[in-house]
Amino acid sequence: MAQAYVTETGNGGSEPEPSGSGLRRRLAELRRDPGIWRRGIVTAAIAAVIALIMIFHAELPNDVGNLGSLIETFLPWLGLAVPVLLVIAVIRKSATALIAILLTAIVWANLFGGLVTDKSGRGGNLMVATHNVDADNPDPRGTAESVAKSGADVLALTELKASAVPIYEKALERTYKYHAVEGTVGVWSKYPLTSSKPVDIRLGWTRAMRTTVAGPFGDLGIYVAHLPSVRVKLNAGFTANQRDNSADALGAALASEPLKNVILLGDLNGTMNDRALSEVTSQMRSTQGAAGDGFGFSWPAPFPMARIDQILVRGVKPEASWTLPRTGSDHLPVAARVTIRP
């Protein structure tokens, strides 16, 4: 007996709906959803506030707890809010929140997108490095040997404890024929050093110095500085006044420097975004910003969150900038290759 076969093609049929049709149907449902613009207002507002903070960070007040400087120190990390808010917006099916988050992502990319890419080149006739070696470093010899292996022609060390200076001198003497130490900072060089002297940064003790490197490229002014540390305290906020005063004094010294080619190395306890360092950063160019690979965060060494160890130049072309392997310090060493023209 013949059997009848029936093919169901209606809504309850067995044939699958084309994927394109399903997507169009879902989009149509969202367009007809009156709550798509009303939901997620709080999420959109948070995204908007973050975008405004990034755009107008220089206008944030520093009068109360140095709030502006604190936010500027960790400003790139505000971008982490974007994927979190995006997930919330998708779950909430909020078009308003999605648009606000997109604008926030554009603002972040405009400010920091250039730092994500690799801008390093292959040129350069001088390599410099700087390292806050940590006064409590349990292995000063190992630290010195590690940074010496970097190949740097000029090496700046900060936070040198007086009792450890002979250890660094002994460990670095084979690589660097010349060196000068002033207070808690020092310079080791493969080229002769002249006119080494302390730089007064209004502390009462020496944490900055200046020297001249006499190389085949001519005279190069080298400044090494370790600006005062900053702290975040519940009752006082971001305590950075002493650092800010020292930065102003360092900026004045740089402004009076007669040499055309100048490099500043050291721990500035602040990022290039921090307006409190403007007396310095307005005169100098960051090697990391100009020729770095990524953000180049240097502190704290176990999980770097900020670039507070800096190599800044004037009259010198940055070619590449990067961080060096971790040592016994709580900071990462940073290095740069530059081109110096007489």
**CATH number of the domain where residue 290 is located:** 3.60.10.10
Strand order in the sheet with 193-198: 193-198, 208-215, 218-226, 262-267, 309-314, 285-286
Which residue, of 49, 83, 116, is where some domain finishes?
116
> In whole angstroms, what is the distance from residue 136 CA to residue 116 CA?
33
Asked whether residue 205 falls in the same domain as residue 274, the answer is: yes
What is the Cα Rg of the chain in Å? 27
43 in a domain, yes or no? yes
Task: Please indicate, yes or no, whether residues 94 and 178 belong to a single structural domain of this protein.
Answer: no
CB 266 within 8 A of CB 225: yes
pLDDT at residue 314, rounded to an integer: 98
In this structure, the answer to whether residues 90 and 201 fall within a common structural domain is: no
The answer to the question of residue 13 being in a domain is no
- Which of 65, 95, 116 corresponds to the end of one domain? 116
The three-state secondary structure class of 276 is: helix
Assess if residue 14 is contained within a domain: no
62 with 163, same domain: the answer is no
Q: What domain range is 171 assigned to? A: 126-339
C-alpha to C-alpha distances, 265 to 5, 27, 158, 160, 195, nearest whole angstrom: 84, 56, 9, 15, 17
The answer to whether residue 83 sits within a structural domain is yes
Domain boundary among 88, 116, 144: 116
Look at the chain and report how many structural domains it folds into: 2
Q: Identify whether residues 204 and 175 lie together within a single domain.
A: yes
For the entire predicted model, the pTM comes to 0.85
Residue 138, H or E segment: none
6 within some domain: no
102 and 137 part of one domain: no
Predicted pLDDT of residue 31: 58
CA–CA dist 170, 239 (Å, integer): 37
Judgement on whether residues 137 and 110 belong to the same structural domain of the protein: no
Where the chain has pLDDT below 70, the residues are 1-34, 232-239
Whether residue 334 sits in one domain with residue 245: yes
- pLDDT at residue 230, rounded to an integer: 82
Q: What is the pLDDT of residue 240?
A: 78
Residues ≥6 apart with Cβ < 8 Å to 314: 254, 260, 261, 262, 263, 283, 284, 285
Judgement on whether residues 178 and 272 belong to the same structural domain of the protein: yes
Same structural domain for residues 136 and 25? no
Decide: residue 287, CB within 10 A, 0-12 exposed, 13-18 middle, 19+ buried: buried
Provide the token pair at 32: 């007809």
pLDDT tens string 284-301: 999 999 999 999 999 999
Q: Are the C-beta atoms of residues 246 and 280 closer than 8 Å to each other?
A: no
Residues 104 and 194 in one domain: no
Measured in residues, the chain has a length of: 342
Residue 57 lies in a domain: yes
- CA 93 to CA 82: how far, in whole Å? 16
H or E element that contains 128: strand 126-132
How many angstroms separate the CA atoms of 243 and 308, rounded?
12
In a domain, 8, yes or no: no
Instruction: Note whether residue 156 is domain-resident.
Output: yes
95 & 132 share domain: no
Q: What is the pLDDT of residue 41?
A: 94
